[in-house]
Amino acid sequence: MQDLKIAGIQHDIVWKDKEANFDALSKILKGLDVDLVVLPEMFQTGFCFEKEELAEHMSDSKTLKWLEAMASELQAVVTGSFIAVEDGQFYNRLAWMRPDGTYETYDKRHLFSMSDEPNHFTAGATKLIVDVNGWKVCPMICYDLRFPVWVRNSEYYDALIFVANWPQRRSMHWEKLLQARAIENQCYAIGVNRCGYDGNNIYHDGKSAIITPMGEVAQHIENEAGVLLQTIEASEIKKTRRYMPFLRDADAFELS
């Protein structure tokens, strides 16, 4: 397992304007020398529910085409979520796009009931574990961060990713829960949030961060747009699990 170069893009998303966000992000990503690019939740629209207007079919998705172009240009995996429609159902769907144009998807499991998300989207039922440069990575979406049973490291993955539109008024929870998920799962936790005001005048202060398996903040950005750059080290995973091998003592369970 090689060390992994990550870029987390903390972006002030232009509300419901896909082309403006594609253009801005293309400029930010240009020339990055990384293995993995992580974008915020609904990075091309902001967190909104106008699904009939904004949802994309997988067969002709502008977002997938843009992700494919970026992954090919950078020769890196690029990931983030968007509104997808399939068989008449709408999803907050993360795409994990590889440089060769192949991809996998994860549908947000925990829909944010405080904002009426369950009345607009269908919840996912399956975790996604993907490989990049020998790393096993588990991508999640925003509200999933609050549910340790779902996130639980029963697959011995090496890194958790959370793409988010997490508001400033609950940012303390964001920071503490990222650290908790890293510590309890003995893995890196990478949280990439948006910044700025959304179309509902809700402020997001970003606080995108990379947390080590020991729960230490390796890198973070607050408030302004920027790129979170960090090389995460395979040796840290091995050292932490050797020093405190408590994953092997975890309770076994299955989700119904």
Q: List active site positions.
A: 41, 108, 142
Beta strands in the chain (DSSP E): 4-10, 36-38, 56-57, 77-86, 89-97, 103-107, 130-132, 135-141, 159-164, 188-193, 195-197, 203-211, 217-222, 226-232
Residue 137, helix vs strand vs coil: strand
Q: What tokens were used for 36?
A: 């993995």
- What DSSP assignment string belongs to 84-97? EEETTEEEEEEEEE
Residue of 215, 147, 230, 221 lying closest to 176 (CA atoms): 215
